[in-house]
């Protein structure tokens, strides 16, 4: 997923800590760093699982000396759709990079910390790099610089700071349930997939992948980050406990270089069966049906009545602590339905034939 550049910069700015906000009044009158000679260099063409570096070079001048400061950025979820297992910590000055790549699994943004390589802090050259893969092919650009004191960088200083990353036969990640689903809450499901090179179809063997769970697609991990490695045929597998409490609704498998996610695939864990037990009474014309479901199951319970050959919903109430009491009028055949939600498959009780006498 690739955001427009303005949205990218806004997301990164929102990720900065409060201590990295607006400059102080004293900083308004003090000299601020001036950037020039901004360049971006791409690696040689990348094939398959090869890794290269995009290198940023900036010349910074400041009579009082360019200072460095630690910054924390969001773990990628607000930047371009990929989710990192932890926030990104960088020592700035920093460069914010973005690309026009089209691979839906690849990350198309990066935060690069810069360090002094020649000259002085008053007048010197700063550089930094970010890892890229064949999946991240596309034209990369320096979108902005994060300088001490919140100094602004004119757009003209960044003009032309682009580089074309060329990638061929990039790997494609897959992930899904390998064992049979749906299963009861608390069950272990074998999860895995295969990594194949997109053009030749050859397996990507020995590739190290990070796996974790989260409650949403754009959310940090809700549990430990684990690592697996593809075998000679490109396959990988791991065991996952399906709890049903909403904390592990999404499973992510990612290729991580350093602390940077470069490629990612995700899947919804809608793998839980919903057993529904129901009993009912008919007093006069009043029908009362009590349904019992797993304690972690939430959402509405629907009371349905059989009319001819069709089931029609006649009442609905929320499930509270695994129980729902539904009411209707009139003798007939009833059942209780729980519709499918994010984690749970739909469930239905047996038919209840309620008649007078």
pLDDT tens column, 198-207: 999 999 999 9
Domains and CATH numbers, the chain: 5-168 (no CATH), 180-268 (2.60.40), 277-354 (2.60.40.730)
Specify whether the CB–CB gap between 297 and 319 falls below 8 A: yes
Give pLDDT tens digits for 216-228: 877 778 888 999 9
pLDDT at 23 over 50: no
Which residues touch 277 (CB under 8 Å, ≥6 apart)? 291, 292, 293, 349
Classify 353 as helix, strand or coil.
strand
Backbone angles phi, psi at 15, to 5 degrees: -80, -15
Rounded to whole angstroms, how far apart are CA atoms 36 and 58? 6
Rounded to whole angstroms, how far apart are CA atoms 4 and 86? 24
In three state form, how does the secondary structure of 314-337 look? EEEEECECCEEEEEEECCEEEEEE
Give pLDDT tens digits for 104-140: 999 999 999 999 999 999 999 999 999 999 999 999 9
Rounded to whole angstroms, how far apart are CA atoms 98 and 314? 53
Give pLDDT tens digits for 268-326: 998 999 999 999 999 999 999 999 999 999 899 999 999 999 999 999 999 999 999 99
């Amino acid at each position: 997923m690739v955001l427009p550049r303005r949205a990218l910069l806004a997301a990164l700015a929102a990720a900065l800590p409060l201590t990295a906000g607006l400059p102080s009044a004293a900083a308004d009158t003090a000299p601020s760093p001036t950037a020039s000679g901004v360049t971006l260099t791409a690696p040689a063409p990348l094939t398959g699982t090869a890794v290269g570096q995009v290198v940023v070079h900036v010349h910074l001048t400041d009579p009082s000396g360019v200072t460095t400061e630690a910054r924390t950025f969001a773990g990628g979820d607000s930047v371009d759709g990929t989710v990192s297992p932890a926030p990104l910590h960088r020592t700035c000055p920093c460069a914010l990079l973005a690309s026009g790549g089209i691979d839906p699994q690849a990350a198309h943004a990066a935060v690069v910390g810069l360090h002094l390589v020649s000259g002085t802090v008053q007048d010197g050259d700063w550089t930094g790099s970010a890892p890229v893969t064949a999946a991240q092919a596309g034209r990369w650009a320096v979108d902005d610089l994060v300088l001490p004191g919140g100094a602004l960088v004119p757009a003209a200083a960044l003009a032309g700071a682009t580089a074309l990353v060329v990638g061929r036969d990039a790997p494609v990640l897959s992930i899904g349930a390998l064992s049979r689903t749906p299963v009861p809450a608390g069950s272990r499901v074998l999860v895995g997939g295969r990594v194949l090179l997109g053009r030749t179809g050859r397996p990507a063997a020995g590739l190290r992948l990070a796996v974790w769970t989260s409650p949403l697609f754009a959310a940090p991990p809700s549990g430990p980050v684990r690592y697996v490695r593809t075998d000679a045929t490109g396959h990988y597998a791991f065991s996952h406990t399906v709890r049903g409490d909403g904390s592990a609704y999404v499973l992510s498998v990612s290729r991580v270089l350093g602390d940077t996610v470069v490629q990612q695939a995700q899947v919804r864990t809608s793998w839980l069966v919903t057993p529904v037990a129901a009993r009912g009474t008919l007093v006069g014309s009043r029908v009362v049906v009590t349904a019992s479901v797993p304690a972690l199951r939430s959402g509405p319970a629907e009371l349905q009545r059989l009319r001819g050959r069709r089931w029609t919903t006649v009442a609905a109430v929320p499930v509270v602590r695994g129980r729902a009491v539904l009411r209707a009028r009139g003798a007939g055949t009833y059942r209780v339905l729980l519709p499918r939600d994010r984690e749970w498959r739909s469930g239905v009780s047996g038919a209840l034939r309620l008649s007078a006498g």
